[in-house]
């Protein structure tokens, strides 16, 4: 099981940038798989607590049912547009993919279930300092941190 702490220990600067993007806005987007195998996109809140990435699903929500049936997910940070003329300042966007493990009831919130993430990949997409190339950085437990630039 790969936790958020594992990402932080393996690639601390990268993990800090990704977490900053997730923490910058309350609402994120999660992709799960429907019973027929099709994708489902849902709004969600997520937190990084004690080295764990966690998120919840309210009682009877479809995303929770999806995760019980097939625990694969992809979580996306909020997306903001680059400001024209200041594209190099665009922070980019982040994604975390993995498996959602049931972790008991939500405490201190609406009725629902808490999930803990086992992380399979983390991605940060942003622009290079000159804002001329798209930079895709990604980390996996097997290959560590990698990067690719594209026009």
Domains of the chain plus CATH, in order, are 4-150 (2.30.110.10)
The tens digit of pLDDT for each residue in 23-32 reads 999 999 999 9
Q: Is residue 135 within 8 Å of residue 129, measured between CB atoms?
A: no
Give the confidence band of 90 by pLDDT, cuts at 50, 70, 90: very high
Q: Is residue 103 within 8 Å of residue 136, measured between CB atoms?
A: no
Furthest CA-CA distance within the chain = 47
> HSE-up of 106 (CA within 13 Å, CB side)?
17
Nearest to 58 by CA among 12, 106, 18: 106
The segment with the largest mean pLDDT, out of 20-24, 84-88, 106-110, is 20-24
Instruction: Give the global pTM.
Output: 0.95
In the predicted structure, residue 108 carries a pLDDT above the cut 90: no
The tens digit of pLDDT for each residue in 31-48 reads 999 999 999 999 999 999
């Amino acid at each position: 099981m790969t936790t958020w702490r594992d990402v932080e220990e393996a690639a601390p600067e990268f993990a800090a940038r990704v977490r900053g993007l997730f923490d910058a806005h309350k609402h994120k987007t999660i992709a799960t798989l429907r019973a027929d195998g099709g994708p489902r996109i849902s709004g969600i809140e997520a937190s990084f607590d004690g080295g764990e990435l966690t998120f919840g699903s309210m009682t009877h929500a479809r995303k929770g049912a999806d995760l019980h049936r097939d625990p694969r997910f992809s979580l996306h940070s909020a997306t903001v547009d680059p400001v024209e003329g200041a594209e190099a300042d665009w922070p980019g966007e982040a994604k975390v993919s993995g498996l959602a493990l049931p972790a008991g009831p939500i405490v201190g919130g609406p009725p629902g279930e808490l999930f803990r993430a086992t992380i399979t990949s983390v991605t940060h997409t942003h622009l290079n300092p000159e804002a001329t190339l798209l930079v895709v950085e990604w980390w996996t437990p097997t290959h560590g941190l990698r990067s690719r630039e594209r026009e």
